[in-house]
């Protein structure tokens, strides 16, 4: 996957996680949703690690253990493509 | 503690800037029903929320609102950042330029600066959740007004996403309201001293 495709895929999977997380906040007993949340969280983690191994660190404060790219000089999200 | 992720929640790339829309978007960056108000409101109310589920909802929706605030700031920045002085003046942004240049500042489209008086935190869980449900509806309405002002897909796609989030958040807060009603069926969630 290209950098852009991979970022879009991360965005899609993360959105599923956001939705499931908010749903589980008011339905913590829903075991099906919990299973989905764990499965998509694992998928998301894998995609982020894949992105970081190839391109740039995505997270600050110690959550992106990668020597690839550069936190300071990679583009900020508000900069135009 | 929060961890920053160096990406937007939904992609934004404004290639055809429209300063009228940047001005309208300021409603959601620094207005009373803005994403800034929403995030500050929920993250502040959560401290006294007595139910685990409702506390988690305030925490997590509050966190998502900050990501939405970043999206609005991005749209304003990508629109105002490259504008000429005559374009800014023609869009009614001469006053904004005088005060803030091409910076992104939390004020509404009429230049009224953001204030904490836009939000409330009463310590009464039911009262606070009613405010949050109303806030989500007001933000949805505001997004619809902004969307009515443009046909440009570069603005409409992220705005459609943000409008839909208001609908989902309202749904979650409505569930929170039902949870609190079960806990306090007599409506006495706020102790009277006398």
B104-162 pLDDT, tens digit each: 999 999 999 999 999 999 999 999 999 999 999 999 999 999 999 999 999 999 999 99
The domains found in chain B, sorted by start residue, are: 19-183 (1.20.1260.10)
Mean pLDDT of the region A16-29: 98
Contact B9 A11 (CB under 8 A): yes
- Could you list the residue range(s) of the whole structural domain that residue A53 is in? 1-81
Can you give the pLDDT at residue A30?
98
Eight-state DSSP code of residue B47: G
Kindly report the nearest CA distance between residue A66 and chain B, in angstroms: 14
Mean pLDDT of the region A3-11: 96
Can you give the pLDDT at residue B188?
84
Residue B42 scores a pLDDT above 80: yes
Residue B192 scores a pLDDT above 90: no
The Cα–Cα gap between B96 and B110 comes to 9
Residues of chain B in contact with residue A55, where contact means CB-CB under 8 angstroms, are: none
Contact B74 A78 (CB under 8 A): yes
**Whole-prediction pTM:** 0.97
Contact A80 B175 (CB under 8 A): no
Contact A22 B4 (CB under 8 A): no
The Cα–Cα gap between B64 and B71 comes to 11
Mean pLDDT of the region B36-54: 98
Residues of chain A in contact with residue B54, where contact means CB-CB under 8 angstroms, are: 26
**What integer best gives the mean pLDDT of chain A?**
96
**Pick from B184, B187, B64, B152: nearest CA to A17:** B64
What ipTM is given for this predicted complex? 0.97
Please give the share of chain B, as a percent, with pLDDT higher than 90.
95
Residues of chain A in contact with residue B11, where contact means CB-CB under 8 angstroms, are: 7-8, 11
Residues of chain B in contact with residue A21, where contact means CB-CB under 8 angstroms, are: 60
Into how many domains does chain A fold?
Answer: 1
DSSP states of chain B as a string? ----BSS-SS----SS--HHHHHHHHHHHHSTTSHHHHHHHHHHHGGG--SHHHHHHHHHHHHHHHHHHHHHHHHHHHHHTT--HHHHHHTT-HHHHHHHTT----B-TT-PBP-GGG----S-HHHHHHHHHHHHHHHHHHHHHHHHT---HHHHHHHHHHHHHHHHHHHHHHHHHHHHHHH-TTS--S----
Partner B contacted by A11 (CB < 8 A): yes
Residue B194 scores a pLDDT above 90: no
DSSP H helix total and E strand total for chain B: 7, 0
Instruction: Place B98 in a pLDDT band, splitting at 50, 70 and 90.
Output: very high
Instruction: Place A1 in a pLDDT band, splitting at 50, 70 and 90.
Output: confident
Partner B contacted by A59 (CB < 8 A): yes
Residue A45 scores a pLDDT above 80: yes
Q: How far is CA B80 from CA A20, A29, B8, B91, B145, in A?
A: 35, 47, 19, 11, 20
Partner A contacted by B45 (CB < 8 A): no
Kindly report the nearest CA distance between residue B173 and chain A, in angstroms: 9
The first and second tokens of residue B127, run together, are 């009262």
Can you give the pLDDT at residue B85?
98
């Amino acid at each position: 996957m290209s950098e852009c495709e991979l970022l879009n895929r991360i965005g899609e999977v993360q959105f599923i996680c956001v939705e499931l997380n908010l749903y589980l906040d008011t339905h913590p007993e829903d075991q099906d949703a919990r299973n989905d949340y764990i499965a998509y969280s694992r998928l998301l983690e894998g995609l982020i690690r894949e992105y970081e191994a190839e391109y740039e660190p995505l997270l600050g404060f110690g959550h992106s253990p990668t020597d690839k790219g550069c936190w300071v000089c990679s583009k900020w999200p508000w900069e135009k493509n | 503690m929060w961890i920053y992720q160096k990406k937007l929640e939904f992609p934004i790339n404004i290639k055809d800037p429209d300063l009228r829309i940047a001005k309208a978007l300021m409603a959601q960056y620094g207005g009373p029903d803005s994403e800034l108000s929403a995030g500050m409101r929920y993250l502040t109310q959560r401290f006294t929320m007595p139910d685990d589920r409702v506390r988690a909802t305030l925490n997590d929706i509050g966190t998502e609102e900050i990501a939405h605030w970043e999206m609005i700031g991005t749209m304003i920045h990508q629109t105002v950042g490259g504008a000429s002085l005559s374009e800014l003046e023609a869009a009614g942004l001469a006053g904004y330029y005088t005060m803030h240049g091409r910076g992104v500042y939390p004020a509404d489209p009429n230049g009224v600066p953001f204030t904490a008086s836009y939000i409330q935190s009463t310590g009464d869980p039911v009262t606070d959740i009613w405010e949050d449900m109303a806030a989500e509806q007001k933000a949805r309405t505001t997004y619809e007004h902004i969307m009515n002002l443009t046909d440009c897909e570069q603005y409409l796609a992220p705005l459609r996403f943000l409008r839909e989030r208001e609908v989902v958040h309202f749904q979650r807060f409505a569930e929170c309201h039902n949870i609190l009603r079960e806990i306090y069926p007599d409506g006495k969630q706020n102790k009277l001293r006398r």
